[in-house]
Chain A
């Protein structure tokens, strides 16, 4: 994937770009908002990562102008520590996701992958299939090997998110934001509890397992084999 990273802090930019390159992406880096805007106009990127605080032109303005000029690529905002208004502002300006600095690299990678996959699948089919798991989002039913599985509404939402991101690592923070609409860090094992309950219903009686834990990163739902 071809990614544009607009980040003024040299160490931060190097850390982020190196990590993305190691995972097979091509990364261009811009150090100012103006350069970033110029580069979005000249080159077709699959994803743009924008820091909020930039010299010459701040990230928010950059995104507004770029969107106004017809930029279609997904945009990931990097926000400052603890900024509670930043997310709403960023999304309103035309961003697709946000990540609070400092972040674990696994978190960034998971979000980059989720964003890259977003267009073809988010408004996709009503019936989702992974191996022998079938989800009907219209009828709100789930079956494995043809056997009906009863899920609570929130368990359904959790499974749907995992299925829509099939094969991609989703982090705890992504689940908290997308499934429970929690934009803070709970002090108890909310995600673990609910994932383990979902696993008990989806995987316990139907080997092989579909949901896997990725240590230090999050969870992934993928077809066996």
Chain B
């Protein structure tokens, strides 16, 4: 997976692809949310701190004004003027501003411009103190004005350099934090988006290859067990199923083509030979007869294929009814006993009575008929064919066995495929569809088929699932009981 391609395939002008991904959008939304909450936090800290510092400052001013008031009343005006002058010019008292005005309006001490002051709390613009005690840029001044009991007007002010410093510190800290957060959010969002995009891109690339026709492709599983792994595992499971279905379809189509070619070739050869030379009337009749038989064989093959397809479609399940399985087995024995006998074989049975099942009687009959016919046709002369039906705790159980040549263990899975014929049986005339139909009927009825060695011969076990029928019987019994 080339990461570069993620950058080189823009969604819209200039923007790299990951910008459009859901993860990137999510990361950005989260960053925005974080920014809003950080801004609220910033505002709260800012206003609380500034408020606290301002209160502190006003406290100091009030205390100093109280000291001056006390000094005026105890030590007299001259002492107060001296103190204010000293404080105004004393180093280490930068930022202090005073004004003492006499009752007739003349300035007695301090550097504040008298025109701007008034009684009570006030904020004076920067530069209101014309006697700056430092080289600093001017700051605003918080001041308190009051008329002393002796008649003079006193203003005490402190500039807000400390508060301004705190403001700057807080703002700078938050600006840095915001910048770092933004970078981290962008970086993190990009990183997770690229990771997300890469995982999706891997799946997309696989599906594109599959669409291009390579059904063997699988989505790589990282083994981390995350959502993408689970998605990949599910996709792979789906692909597995599709591939096996496709394989089955391909196999069936090629088998149909192959198996129909054989009888059609025979038919054509016979007709060609007939054309090549003059024949007697009897010979012509025999040829026509044989040709009709050939076409009948082909038509039967089609009919069997369609029947299997219809059974596999499962629509017959809708018509399921109670079937007396014992009666079906008995009927099969009645019908095929004489056939086996005429074939120099024997058919023995052990059928337990009154075993019922929910199913399709017609199809179950055909399934059993096919199995018994298989035993008769491939069992060979003198074969002993056995049919048993018994009830077990897990449902009805049946065995159809013969003493013929049997089926090699490695072939047992394949015999239920359409058109399968063991090579030794190729010469015989079967359509190769009998057991495929057995499998289709068994699947429809949830019957498990097991093939094993009858030593000698083949043993076919049918494990019926009797759940629906038994369930119904129980309900019926419960209802009828008073």
Contact = CB atoms under 8 A, between A and B. Distances in A.
B371 to A, nearest CB: 11
Interface stretch (B35-43, B331-339, B395-403, B449-457): B331-339
Contacts of B306: 81-83
B339 A188 contact: yes
A88 interface: yes
A180 B335 contact: yes
A186 interface: yes
Interface residues of A, number: 27
Contacts of B133: none
B377 A187 contact: yes
Interface in B419-434: 430-431, 434
Contacts of A196: 342
B149 interface: no
B315 A85 contact: yes
B366 A194 contact: no
Contacts of B377: 187-188
A188 B343 CA distance: 10
A45 B303 CA distance: 32
Nearest to B292: A104
Given A83-B310, A85-B315, A181-B365, A190 B334 contact: no
A72 interface: no
A128 B303 CA distance: 38
Interface in B304-322: 304-307, 310-311, 315-316, 319
B304 A82 contact: yes
B316 A84 contact: yes
Nearest to B311: A84
B307 A84 contact: yes
B315 A81 contact: no
A201 interface: no
B310 A82 contact: yes
Contacts of A184: 307, 366, 369
A184 B319 CA distance: 18
Interface string B336-374: 101100110000000000000000001101100110010
Interface string A87-130: 01000000000001010100000000000000000000000000
A84 B315 CA distance: 10
A22 interface: no
B339 A190 contact: yes
Interface in A175-225: 180-190, 193-194, 196-197, 216
Q: Is the interface of A mostly helix, strand, loop or mixed?
A: loop
B86 interface: no
Contacts of A193: 338-339, 342
Contacts of A88: 319
Contacts of A148: none
B339 A189 contact: yes
A25 interface: no
Nearest to B342: A193
B302 interface: yes
A183 B437 CA distance: 14
A104 B300 CA distance: 13
Most buried by A among B335, B342, B373, B377: B335
Contact of A190 (B336, B365, B430): B336
Contacts of B373: 186-188
Nearest to A80: B306
B366 A81 contact: no
Most buried by B among A84, A196, A197: A84
Given A183-B362, A186-B373, A194-B338, A85 B310 contact: yes
A82 B339 contact: no
B376 interface: yes
A181 B363 CA distance: 11
Most buried by A among B289, B310, B377: B310
B369 A82 contact: no
B271 interface: no
B299 interface: yes
A216 B296 CA distance: 13
Nearest to B369: A186
A140 interface: no
A81 B319 contact: no
Contacts of B302: 81-82
Nearest to A215: B289
Contacts of A181: 331, 362, 365
A30 B224 CA distance: 70
B310 A197 contact: no
A189 B365 CA distance: 17
Counting from the closest, the 9 A-B pairs by CB-CB distance are A82-B306, A82-B303, A82-B307, A193-B339, A187-B373, A184-B366, A188-B373, A193-B338, A193-B342
25 contacts: A82-B302, A82-B305, A82-B307, A82-B310, A83-B306, A84-B307, A102-B299, A104-B292, A154-B335, A182-B365, A182-B366, A182-B369, A186-B369, A187-B373, A187-B377, A188-B336, A188-B339, A190-B335, A190-B336, A190-B339, A193-B338, A193-B339, A194-B335, A196-B342, A216-B289
Interface of A: 81-85, 88, 100, 102, 104, 152, 154, 180-190, 193-194, 196-197, 216
Given A84-B307, A181-B365, A194-B338, 12 more contacts: A81-B303, A82-B303, A82-B305, A84-B363, A88-B319, A154-B335, A181-B362, A184-B307, A187-B370, A187-B377, A188-B339, A190-B339
